[in-house]
Structure 1
Amino acid sequence: MSLPKVTVEVHFAQRLASNEKPTRDKTIKKLRLWMTVRSKSGKHAFSEEDFLKLWKGLFYCMWMCDKAVVQEELADNIAKLVHKLHTTDSAMMFFKTFLKTMEREWHGIDRLRMDKYYMFIRRLFREQLEFVKQNHWDKEHIEAFLDVLKQGLLNPTSPTKALGLLHHISDIYLEELTRVGASQLSPQETLMFIDPFCILVAKTRNKSLMKTLLREIFEDIVVHSTVGMEEVLEEEKRLAKEQKEEDGEEEEGEDSEEEDPRLPFDYSAIGDRLFMLGSQKETPGLNRKKMYHMAQQFQDLAKGIYPIPDLEELAQISSEDEIEDDVKLKHKRKQKKRMLEAKMVKGKKAENGGMNGIKENKEENVNDDLNVKKRKKKQKKVLEIEENNSTETDAAIMSKISQKIKLKKKEKVKKVADDSKVEIVDMQEESTKKKKKKMKEEDQIVPESQESLDNVEVTKVIKRSKGAKRKCQQVDEPFAAFQAVSTPPAIVFKKLVAPGTEIKKQKVCRLTDPGSAPPTFKKHVKITLSKNTNHKQSDYKKQVKCSPGIPFDSTKKPSHSALKSTPTPPVKRTKTAIPATKLSIKKKSRRRSSAADFF
């Protein structure tokens, strides 16, 4: 199987999109030579597909380029490739494929690379106009250049999706045209360069695009016109010469300060063209209105009058920018009239009501308010009764049951209060319950005798109710208090029994063993959050003043430093000579004792 052959254009595109800068620079140099040789030979003319392949590589060559100076140099080198093409068809084909690739890849450009491509488009437009300039602004070359724009981005029948690209081109178009051909173009030629934008303004349906074209092309011409500024410019030149003579800086030859280049325009021809396109049936109503307004301004410039809009006109224009058609404007006006009429009727009613209210007494107004409130309450009650009678929901039944339960609880609490001695005891927490279970298993349960039960209270365990909690909370308690908690037998409520009364049932009591250790006590802190208050600043200052110690004293020194002490080196002990007697004693003491030593 033979592999498909790679064409020269694909090979160049792969090398141009390389990650390494030296390979990209070498391929651009080789591409320049290859394009000159191929265009001179005339045997193999460039096709649109060939240029699209090359532009794919050139686009990503610009994508991989970094640093502003390097990017500008690369943009100039790519844009100057147009001059290596010796035929107008190939040069315009090169420009057409460039616009196609930019339109295709426009939405893939991120915001960090957008400025780089803005500059790239500007440089390529400049070099394309330079190519037309080298041919002495020939009519054929100008028409070929404008046909590329009309068939591509400025085509009103098939609008482009890359609107950002079209906005940028309309922004730079006149600037680059003045830079290249301000001194050589005639008013008729400049009208030819502006004509595609006149057609697009007349036929476009995009409101934002129409605004940018009017602002960047036509309003810019009006702003940079010299109508009515001749006297001012002459005075500025005269003042500049006087200052130079006073300073003694006379320069020979041409002046150092050059005048700003300005394109020559035939204002009456531009106004007629806009009026003719705006008067066609196909133009939308909003576009027609804007074009007539611009045509009037150009007619004023042709007469030598600089168009200065009044403040009222500016206010009307700003309000009418949001309206797309004349029908919407009429509809809004009708709505405003209706709103004003409604406000007038409300105002009259309020005035009549206010006059009647002043005549009435204050007491009558108060009584009326009370009557209205009573009526509303009665209406609410009637609605509630009707709802209950119609359908009793489950929620209503549950509410009745809950009321009965609450009444029974209240009766039980009253009975307990009537008793002589009742002690309300806290039920221990979950942790203490576990301890009680263990103690019950260990302890023995012994029945008490009847004699001891004479002075014993009858046990009645009652859990603390919600009412008891509320009573306990009302008692004044300190913010933090220690409470001794032990693990004795279960705490119960007991009733005193008078001596002589017979006890029917024997009660069981839990006793501890006599030899068992006393119960351990643990301290628990009970914190009442209701007593939690902020410490006032005034109290803090009083406390500091009354305290015996001084808060800060510069003469005081700490008892010990906070830093660690430096480690002292260990003392080396020198070996001294030991007498023989001591050595013999040591040896004897080290000997292991035997059985004979004990007899």
Structure 2
Amino acid sequence: MPSATSRKGKSRAAPAEETKAQAAMPLGKQLAHTDKKVRDRAIAGLIAFLSQGGDTEGESSSYVRLDDDEMAKLWKGLFYCFWMSDKPLVQQALAADLAELLLQIKPKTASSQDRFDASIAFLEGFWDAIVREWAGIDRLRMDKYYLLMRKYVNATFRLLAREKWEKNAIQAVNRILTKDGGPMTWQDRRVPTSISTHIADIYLDELNKALALPEVDSQPACPLTAVLEPHIILLTRTSTSTVHTRLMSSVFSPLLECLTLASPSLSLQQDAERPTKKSKKEEPMFAHIVMHSCVGQEGQTDRSSARELKKGLLKRMFEAAANEKATESNRRKVYQVWREEGGDDDDDDDEDEEEDDE
């Protein structure tokens, strides 16, 4: 938003008063206003309000977690604020600003847990709004909401990195994605499958980007299978074959291929078994995922080798397929992938592990 400039006839105190008024929770009608200037002021006010702990220039108001109805109203306003943004550069800037709110929310309490809880509540409000309003998005506006989803997926990974990839933090995010009515639910057929398939399309890309950031690189390793748990569950339990196919083509096949290429012993073994397959790129895709991930349920200092990551992923896929809630057709498909990718090989091959370490 352009900064206020002094003009003749206006009090010098006017800019300060305007800044003070900005740090407040905006009304929905301001966020969805047809006038861009009104929308810009509302967004600036929301950013200031949340990032300052709800502090309006020293007054006693404070940001507290909104109840479900209030969060739904706020996100309805934000959803249509984004709806009203037409120009590509405006859309990109607004999408980035809205996603950054996940990391900027700062309740007055000093507790880091309260800050994370507030961010999670805001994230849940976002995905609830996406699911609730998805059917009303027309074809011409779909791409910009795909962009907004991409920004939020990336910001979510950075939020988890800030929390040092703790188990409870990852579970909180996974609960939002997989809950009944969530974007990656396998139980609620009312949720459009195009949401989960788009999340699958962008998940590895955004995780790789997040792990490439210097501030994320300095954090503990990313527990890969825990972060991918919503995709693993949906892969084995979805009753829609197109969703299963999309998850394999967008998430699991590329990642398994990447981990194979990054492990010399596995790559040589695969080349020997499938010599007719096309030659692969020398540099593996998702290099930062390979370099900064670990096997386990929460972040740890030591990174796992590509071989260990692949074994851990295949093991978790096998376990999910063996669950009684998995469909029979999905179970057979996952078991086939597990066999083809060497999931039944001996895990304690010391010679191969030494080659990987080199």
**Which TM-score applies when normalising by structure 2?**
0.68
1:261 aligns to 2:288 (yes or no): yes
Q: Compared with structure 1, are the counterparts of its residues 136 and 161 closer, same or farther at alpha carbon in structure 2 (3 Å cutoff)?
A: closer
The letter for the 1-side match of 2:210 is: V
Residue ranges of structure 1 left out of the alignment (5+ in a row)? 1-7, 234-258, 305-599
Residue ranges of structure 2 left out of the alignment (5+ in a row)? 1-23, 56-60, 107-114, 268-285, 294-305, 353-358
Q: Compared with structure 1, are the counterparts of its residues 42 and 228 closer, same or farther at alpha carbon in structure 2 (3 Å cutoff)?
A: closer
Which of these residues, 212, 215, 231, is aligned with residue 197 of structure 1?
Answer: 231
The letter for the 1-side match of 2:132 is: R
3-state SS of paired residue (1:133): helix
Q: How does 1:484-523 map to 2 (within 5 A)?
A: none
Q: Which residue of 2 aligns with 1:156?
A: 186
Q: Which residue of 1 aligns with 2:166?
A: 138
Q: Which residue of 2 aligns with 1:30?
A: 45
**Which TM-score applies when normalising by structure 1?**
0.42
Structure with max Cα Rg: 1
Contact 2:200 2:251 in 1 (8 A): yes
Q: Compared with structure 1, are the counterparts of its residues 190 and 260 closer, same or farther at alpha carbon in structure 2 (3 Å cutoff)?
A: closer
Q: Which residue of 1 aligns with 2:135?
A: 107
Contact 1:202 1:278 in 2 (8 A): yes
Distance (Å, rounded) in 2 between the aligned partners of 1:229 and 1:36: 44
1:53 aligns to 2:81 (yes or no): no
Which of these residues, 50, 64, 69, is aligned with residue 84 of structure 2?
Answer: 64
Contact 2:259 2:310 in 1 (8 A): no
Residue 298 of structure 1 and its aligned partner are, at CA, apart by 3.6
Distance (Å, rounded) in 2 between the aligned partners of 1:171 and 1:19: 33
Distance (Å, rounded) in 1 between the aligned partners of 2:169 and 2:154: 15
Residue 100 of structure 1 and its aligned partner are, at CA, apart by 0.9
Residue 88 of structure 1 and its aligned partner are, at CA, apart by 1.4
Paired positions, count = 271
The letter for the 2-side match of 1:20 is: D
Q: Which residue of 2 aligns with 1:78?
A: 98
Q: Which residue of 2 aligns with 1:337?
A: none
* More RCO (CA 8 Å, sep 6+): 2
Contact 2:31 2:43 in 1 (8 A): yes
Residue 138 of structure 1 and its aligned partner are, at CA, apart by 2.5
1:299 aligns to 2:342 (yes or no): yes
Distance (Å, rounded) in 2 between the aligned partners of 1:224 and 1:186: 21
Distance (Å, rounded) in 1 between the aligned partners of 2:39 and 2:262: 53
Q: Deviations over 1:100-125 (max 9, x none)?
A: 11111111111111111111110122
Residue 160 of structure 1 and its aligned partner are, at CA, apart by 4.4
Contact 1:270 1:295 in 2 (8 A): no
Residue 199 of structure 1 and its aligned partner are, at CA, apart by 1.5
1:174 aligns to 2:200 (yes or no): no
Q: Which residue of 2 aligns with 1:212?
A: 246
Q: Compared with structure 1, are the counterparts of its residues 65 and 75 closer, same or farther at alpha carbon in structure 2 (3 Å cutoff)?
A: same
Q: Give aligned-pair identity as a percent.
A: 27
Distance (Å, rounded) in 2 between the aligned partners of 1:119 and 1:228: 30
Q: Which residue of 1 aligns with 2:154?
A: 126
Q: How does 1:422-461 map to 2 (within 5 A)?
A: none
Q: Compared with structure 1, are the counterparts of its residues 119 and 192 closer, same or farther at alpha carbon in structure 2 (3 Å cutoff)?
A: same
Contact 2:237 2:325 in 1 (8 A): yes
Which of these residues, 306, 316, 319, is aligned with residue 276 of structure 1?
Answer: 319
Q: How does 1:218-367 map to 2 (within 5 A)?
A: 218-227=252-261, 230=264, 260-263=287-290, 264=293, 266-299=309-342
Q: Which residue of 1 aligns with 2:32?
A: 17
Which of these residues, 87, 108, 125, is aligned with residue 97 of structure 1?
Answer: 125
Q: Deviations over 1:525-565 (max 9, x none)?
A: xxxxxxxxxxxxxxxxxxxxxxxxxxxxxxxxxxxxxxxxx
The letter for the 1-side match of 2:173 is: F
- CA RMSD, 1 decimal: 2.9
Q: Deviations over 1:142-181 (max 9, x none)?
A: 2222221121222323344211111101111111111112
Q: Compared with structure 1, are the counterparts of its residues 119 and 162 closer, same or farther at alpha carbon in structure 2 (3 Å cutoff)?
A: same
Q: Which residue of 2 aligns with 1:147?
A: 175
Distance (Å, rounded) in 2 between the aligned partners of 1:292 and 1:62: 43
Q: Compared with structure 1, are the counterparts of its residues 43 and 115 closer, same or farther at alpha carbon in structure 2 (3 Å cutoff)?
A: closer
The letter for the 2-side match of 1:217 is: V
